[in-house]
Structure 1
Amino acid sequence: MLYVILDLVGIVIASLLSQPLKHVLTTTQTSAMLDAATLCVGIIGIQGAITTKQPLLMLVSLVFGTLVGYWLDIDGRFTGVGHVLERRLHAANEDFVAGFVAALMIECIGSMAIIGPLNEALSHNPDIMLMKIVLDVLASLIYGAAFGPGVLFAGPFVFAYEAVIYCAAAALHPFLTTAVITEIGAVGSVLLVALAIDVLKIRKLKVANMLPALLGPLLYGLLLGLK
């Protein structure tokens, strides 16, 4: 759990440091950095997605997971949380909500957000979590400078997400075969690609509504076995 806590600390510190940073950089410079970081997010997503050994499972998970996500309106709920925080902080700025949702998605989805806590819990190997901490710090700096303080408030939600995975790892250990973990990570990586497409404004995608897709490989592994 130590590295999950360190990830939270890194996100909070980087988000706070990003506020004076945005006064040093011009809008054009901040936008360019945001585009560069988002392109890297997309590339990381592509690299993770092609590790799948079960492309049909990935397809089915994403299609039906997205359907469930739209039915539950997960994106609307995340946006609603962002608006509540915005009102309570009297931050009348639409970038607040955009930054909150974007940071939450970047730091919660993808293979590292899933495999990192699992590896720390099951094998006490912190290598992936250390890499994720570095990436989350950089993302919080850049996205915080671009969108403002909304990025800071994504930190506690990221911590809760990773802590749940960490704590659930022991109970799910018998079902978390290498194949299941690989496929969950691959689906999460597709969501990173979708997020990059959304942030770059290539096409508007409600990536949060795709989150239930992450459960597809796990359910398949539980019901039918995936080795």
Structure 2
Amino acid sequence: MILFGTLINGLLIIIGSIFGLFFTKIPERYKETVMQGIGLAVVLIGLQMAFVTEQIIILLLSLLSGAIIGEIIRLEEGLNRLGQWIGSKFTSSGSEFSVAQGFITATLIFCIGALAIIGALDSGIRGDHEVLITKGVIDGFAALVLTTTLGFGVILSVIPVVLYQGAIALLATQIEKWIPESFLNGMIVELTAVGGLLIVAIGLNLLKITQIRIGNLLPAIATVGCIYYIYQLIIH
């Protein structure tokens, strides 16, 4: 079953989030300190991912083009409205913003990175779900911790996670016919690096050091593929 790994990943996020809901009533000062710890860990994870880049110019151009596109279409505002709308269906009035924050933050953390992409590709190309199941265990624990501070919105991230990874897995069944393996591997490296910097931005926001409009940088995840392709044409 091509989607087995993706479904297990989603299930573990749900389980982790449900357990996390039982710990949301802890005192605010505990939540604040825990969130700072999460923020520091997220920054470290993002830096580790960002440092894998082999061409810094690709990373820079991807972020710049993504930022321009995101600002033009006001993607951050749209994501916030989506999170608030979803939150209004599950929570009482007045708490939608925190739901949107939890939804966006968790979605970015769970979707961006090498494990999500490589795991989904392994599921589709080789029928090997080990990477996604391992990612699911990690995501489950992360969802538990995030839910204690960001609340119910974290569990809603399972929807884009399943759709995103599922789409990659289904596409991967045909991808070898279209894209050479060497090109695909190189693009994944740069995609991981761009995603890593976005995760660093999440960590900085969680630490309240900055207030980066991460949603408006998301198109960089798409533009990195185009820029990497153009770069390969130039150097070859």
CA contact (8 A) 2:38 2:203 kept: no
Q: Does 1:66 align with 2:67?
A: yes
Aligned-residue identity in percent: 25
Deviations 1:11-48 (A, max 9, x none): 1111111111223x332222222222222121111111
The residue that corresponds to 2:202 in the other structure is: 195
Aligned to 1:18: 20
Partner of 1:54: 55
1:223 Cα shift?
Answer: 4.5
- Report SS of the residue matched to 2:13: helix
Normalized against structure 2, the TM-score is what? 0.87
Q: Is the 8 A contact 2:124 2:171 kept in 1?
A: no
Flag structure 2 segments of 5+ consecutive residues without an equivalent. Answer: none
RMSD: 2.0
Match of residue 192 from structure 2: 185
1: distance between equivalents of 2:127 and 2:41?
Answer: 28
Between 148-157 and 90-99, the greater mean CA deviation after superposition: 90-99
Please name the residue that 1:106 is paired with: 109
Unaligned ranges ≥5, structure 1: none
Q: How many residues align?
A: 226
Bigger shift: residues 11-20 or 210-219: 210-219
| Distance in structure 1 (CA, Å) of the matches to 2:60 and 2:66 | 10
Tell me what 2:143 maps to.
140
C-alpha separation in 1, matches of 2:133 and 2:38: 19
Q: In the alignment, is residue 75 of structure 1 matched against residue 76 of structure 2? A: yes
Please say if residues 10 and 162 of structure 2, whose CA atoms lie closer than 8 Å, have aligned partners that are also in contact: yes
Task: Tell me, in whole angstroms, the C-alpha distance in 2 between the residues paired with 1:40 and 1:130.
Answer: 22
| 1:168 corresponds to 2:171 | yes
Query: Could you report, residue by residue, the CA deviation over 1:142-175 in whole angstroms, capped at 9, with x for unpaired residues?
Result: 1111121111111112111111122222343342
Deviates more, 1:143-152 or 1:92-101: 92-101
Work out whether residues 112 and 185 of structure 1, in 8 Å CA contact, stay in contact via their aligned partners in 2: no
